[in-house]
Structure 1
Amino acid sequence: MSSICIFGVFVADLCFFGKSIPARGQTILGSKHIVGPGGKGSNQAIAAARLNGKVNFITKLGKDSNATMALDLYSQSGVNIDGVIQDPNLSTGVAAIMIDENGHNAINIVSGAAGHLEKEDINKNLEIIKKSKIFLTQLETPQGTTMYALQKAKEEGCVTILNPAPARSINKEDFLLIDFFTPNETETEFYLNKKIESDQDIKDAGNEFLDKGVKNIIITLGSKGVYFANSKESYFIDALKLKSDVVDTTGAGDAFNGALSVALSKEYSYKDALVFANKVGGISTTKVGAANAMPTIEEVESY
């Protein structure tokens, strides 16, 4: 029986490293290039599995070399693939990632086969959702399918987590499906249509999300930590003080969300769950890549 069901996208990440991220029309000389596994849902599944979470991943792949990369990774990491669909008529997704010398990034994602996930694919995997305590998803999959999956997860009694990335419009009634909403600062500005600059801005933003029907709001703040609020309490948690330099922030949000799902599945208190997720997200920034940067539970415990 699986405790965590993650619905999302796998893509092959094409990472390009350079001094800066090119502006529109600009060409720069990079320093290195790597190809590796990515996609927010897939990264979160890997993160959760490496932390000893019991993970089922629902996605759609092609039947190509990138799909082989994904399936090999899931086998190595302990992700259950009963919910992975393969379509020989579609290509597995890809993403181009530009990374500057400070570890900041810009990403263009093409979802490929996962962009063709439909409600029927959710219906075929309802047993996986029924057996899960936590349901985690993002917004790289088709919007209608994602919200249908959240609805089914709520009907089956799952605790739902929506990591709203990339930021896309959400219908008013769909906020009611969300137990934990985990935008970063940029995504928060998108959903509330205003700048977020001060601590008070962040607190006000949290209240606005609660007013929309979200049960618990978690705003991730990068090097400034995280803000949490629900109807009973609210607080900031500082970022992990790292032992080494940040080299790549690409998968930090995914590490955080995957870790959050594991902590909630193990019934950590909300504050302890956030401290744990913050730590995992921070450690991931000290490594290059997305899925490859997800730390193991042994690394986290010894850090």
Structure 2
Amino acid sequence: MNDITILGIFVADLSFSGDKIPVSGETILGDNYNIGPGGKGCNQAIAISRLGGKVNFISKIGDDDYGKLAINSLQKNKIDTKNIIISKKHKTGVAGIHVDKNTGKNAITVVRGAPTSLTKEEIDIKIIKQSKIFLTQLEVPLDVTLYCLKIAKEKNLINILNPAPACELSKDFFKFIDYFTPNETEAEFYTGIKIKDKDDAKESAKKLVNMGIKNVIITLGEKGLFYTNGKEEIYINASKVSAIDTTGAGDAFNGSFSLGLSKGKSIRECLELANRVAGLSTTRLGAGDSMPTLSELH
């Protein structure tokens, strides 16, 4: 039995680094590129495994070259691939990522491919039921995500929803969520509050708690993070690092936060761990490939 089960997608990340992110109609010369594992679920699974955690990853890929990259990447990172569904009818997903090497900021287009066809019937719910924590995002069909959140909650798992990419959710979602982990842009989508500082984050988080969510963590990029459960509040500054690529930082955060919870750490310890891991992930190019190892934390 693995402590954490993740439902999410794998995409092959094609990352291009240059002096700026091109605008519409513009061609620029880059200076580096990387082809590696991506997709929020995959990145989160890699983050957990590299930190010594045991994780189940439920996903769907195509029977193609990028699908082979998926299997090889997961096996290389000691992640069991028996819950990966291989489709003969659909392509493996791909993401095109432009990175500004001077700021680490990015612009991303994701084509999900095979996961868009994932159905409830394809999910092995025994895997979820045997875990402690269920972590998911909004990259697979919403009906499948909600179904799995319900299954997990029936078995008293801790449910973590990383609401990315942000989209309209029915009220049913919120009653099954224990931890809601938007970044500042996603939090604004759900609350209408533009977050420029800690006070804005506090107001946004309070609104989310009032929507029925038990614990809210808003990640604020270089401004750190804000947590509340309606009673306790925690603000932590971002780690001081020289960021070159912020792709996957949120996934590093969610994966390591989940791992901390599975180990019984306090909420502050989990947040501090996740903050540190996310910061380290921005110091190298790529998404899944940028996830830190346990030895790098010492």
TM-score by length of 1: 0.95
Counterpart of 2:180? Answer: 181
Q: Is the 8 A contact 1:38 1:290 kept in 2?
A: yes
Counterpart of 1:191? Answer: 190
Secondary structure at the counterpart of residue 107 of structure 2:
strand
Q: Is the 8 A contact 2:193 2:204 kept in 1?
A: no
Q: Which amino acid aligns with 2:108?
A: I
Q: Write the mapping of 1:74-223 to structure 2, written as runs, cut at 5 A.
A: 74-101=74-101, 102-122=103-123, 125-223=124-222
The Cα of 1:20 is off from its aligned counterpart by 1.1
Counterpart of 1:252? Answer: 249
Q: Which amino acid aligns with 2:45?
A: A
Separation (CA, whole Å) in 2 of partners of 1:121 and 1:161: 21
Separation (CA, whole Å) in 1 of partners of 2:253 and 2:34: 23
Q: Which amino acid aligns with 2:253?
A: F
Q: Which amino acid aligns with 1:107?
A: I
Separation (CA, whole Å) in 1 of partners of 2:79 and 2:34: 23
Counterpart of 2:281? Answer: 284
Q: 2:271 aligns with which of 243, 262, 274?
A: 274
Separation (CA, whole Å) in 1 of partners of 2:112 and 2:153: 25
- Structure 1 residues not aligned, in runs of 5+: none
Separation (CA, whole Å) in 1 of partners of 2:73 and 2:105: 25
Counterpart of 2:19? Answer: 19
The Cα of 1:232 is off from its aligned counterpart by 2.7
Can you list the C-alpha shifts for 1:231-288, whole angstroms capped at 9, x where unaligned?
330120111223xx21110010000000011000001000000000101000001111
Counterpart of 1:228? Answer: 227
The Cα of 1:65 is off from its aligned counterpart by 1.3
Secondary structure at the counterpart of residue 177 of structure 1:
coil
Counterpart of 2:42? Answer: 42
Separation (CA, whole Å) in 2 of partners of 1:115 and 1:169: 17
The Cα of 1:111 is off from its aligned counterpart by 0.6
Q: Is the 8 A contact 2:34 2:285 kept in 1?
A: no
Q: Is the 8 A contact 1:134 1:158 kept in 2?
A: yes
Counterpart of 2:7? Answer: 7
Q: Which amino acid aligns with 1:43?
A: N
Q: Which amino acid aligns with 1:169?
A: E
The Cα of 1:29 is off from its aligned counterpart by 2.3
Q: Is the 8 A contact 2:234 2:268 kept in 1?
A: no
Can you list the C-alpha shifts for 1:1-31, whole angstroms capped at 9, x where unaligned?
1100000000001111121112223222222
In angstroms, what is the RMSD of aligned CA positions? 1.1
TM-score by length of 2: 0.97
Can you list the C-alpha shifts for 1:47-78, whole angstroms capped at 9, x where unaligned?
00111111000000111111111111211211
Q: Is the 8 A contact 2:174 2:211 kept in 1?
A: yes
The share of aligned pairs that are identical, in percent, is 50
Separation (CA, whole Å) in 1 of partners of 2:100 and 2:36: 18
Separation (CA, whole Å) in 2 of partners of 1:6 and 1:198: 31
Separation (CA, whole Å) in 2 of partners of 1:144 and 1:127: 18
The Cα of 1:184 is off from its aligned counterpart by 0.5
The Cα of 1:115 is off from its aligned counterpart by 1.3
| Divergent runs of 4+, >6 A | none
Q: Is the 8 A contact 1:176 1:212 kept in 2?
A: no
Q: Is the 8 A contact 2:97 2:106 kept in 1?
A: yes
